[in-house]
Amino acid sequence: MNIQLKPFTDSDLTLFVNWLHSEHIQRWYAPVEAWVDEVSKRESEYSWIRHYIILAEETPIGFCQYYPYWRSGEDWQGSIPVEETYSIDYLIGEVDFLRKGCACQALKLLQSHIFALPNGQRIIAQPDEDNLASRQTLLAAGYTYDEENELFIVNR
């Protein structure tokens, strides 16, 4: 299946909100309002985050984003250097496209975007430990689990 990423636009907002309210998504992406606020301000307050819609054969099926971790103010990286570290978020909103490798392909595309940046040395992610599907997807996309820091990582 041909997976592509297209930059998020205002016309994607309704679909994104619908995905956030989906039964298989809402547990991991709460509160919805915070996510809507972020993508709505993607050209101003959150312009340092790159937001995308995941396409399968030109059909919108999900959402993903990457951001320079050091700009986020987050502090779950453990002993991983903050500089030159990026993080990601992703979801497959369309149920018919779950468990078909689409998220794995999207993660690899995000990885290629990040590693093309001069300061993109590593990507870290920390899905909820109960989110087994996400954890398996990261492993399938080439990430390793760092037990000391309790996160998934892939290096350039």
pLDDT at 15: 98
**Tens-digit pLDDT profile for the chain (156 aa)?**
899 999 999 999 999 999 999 999 999 998 999 999 999 999 999 999 999 999 999 999 999 999 999 999 999 999 999 999 999 999 999 999 999 999 999 999 999 999 999 999 999 999 999 999 999 999 999 999 999 999 999 999
| Class in CATH terms, 3-155 | alpha beta
pLDDT tens for each residue of 15-41 = 999 999 999 999 999 899 999 999 999
Q: How far apart are CA 107 and CA 137, in angstroms?
A: 9
pLDDT at 147: 97
Q: What are phi and psi of 155, to 5 degrees?
A: -105, 155
Q: What are phi and psi of 131, to 5 degrees?
A: -85, 75
Q: Is 98 left (phi over 0), alpha (psi -120 to 50) or beta?
A: beta
